[in-house]
A = this chain, B = another copy of it.
Amino acid sequence: MKVGYLGPKSSFTFQAANEIFPENTLIPFASIPLTIEQLENKTLDFAVVPIENSLEGSVHATVDYLFDQTAITIKKEVILPIRQQLLGTHFVEQVKKVLSHPQALAQTEQYLKKHFPEVLLEAVSSTTAAAQYVAEHPHDKVLAIASKKAAEEYGLQILAKDIQDNSMNKTRFWLLSMDKDKQNLARYQNKKVTLFVSLPANLPGALHQVLSAFAWRKIDLAKIESRPLKTYLGEYFFIIDILLNENEVLIENAIKEIELLHAKVQWVGNYPVDEIT
């Protein structure tokens, strides 16, 4: 079995993929489109990509790729806490520089301001690249911000643990496959359905009508978000995540009703949600 993921190795996407599959099945790719492309070309059985971070919001590369195709479905969601570690080869007296990915630097901004107010912060291409540089330059007085996994991978010490400013920082990842069959999710506690809905035109109130079809059936929406259709400024499609509570038939009825309003509904998948703590 081959599972592609947004690399490099020891990225947070690696950790999400490794929650589902053994390490020796996992293959890193340099970007989200490259990862999903290999799934479409059938050189992969599965792909794992990020879909949303609690601070940054949706990962548009994932959403936009999935909207433009109909062959790929969501098989599972993994929610991972994002915990950043301060890594070095040994305790350093006069730190000169801290390296990391721009997002990890942003996520630890207050910690760095407090503990390293004078130190140069340098953005590199990934947290893994930062850890690798530090491991290969033990005399440079340079530290990295990266994951626990990166510490193991490069034999680095964790000099300060869980230094992210927001302890609730989490990322959602989707496990994607080309098997479009609806899953039987009876045995799962937490599960969702994701739909993409394109409205017929910019009818005032069209979105309200779509939401009405869910609301009067008491269907719980976990999320609704708009993305540009890339046709004209002001035209959007909507990503709708629904919490599944023994109500799949109600959801199917709502979809039929929405389609009668001439909206286009794309069923992206029904899937269990696995939150890692």
Contacts and interface: CB of A to CB of B under 8 A. Distances in A.
Chain A interface mostly helix, strand, loop or mixed?
mixed
Nearest to A60: B57
A208 B204 contact: no
Interface stretch (A87-95, A132-140, A166-174, A180-188): A166-174
A230 B166 contact: yes
Nearest to A171: B233
A231 interface: yes
Given A170-B233, A172-B233, A231-B168, A215 B223 contact: no
Interface in A243-270: 243
Interface string A24-58: 00000000000000000000000000001111110
A219 B207 contact: no
B228 A226 contact: no
A51 B52 CA distance: 21
A57 B228 CA distance: 6
Interface in A61-106: 79
A232 B211 CA distance: 23
Among A56, A204, A215, A233, which residue has the most Cβ atoms of chain B within 10 A?
Answer: A233
A53 to B, nearest CB: 8
A219 B234 CA distance: 16
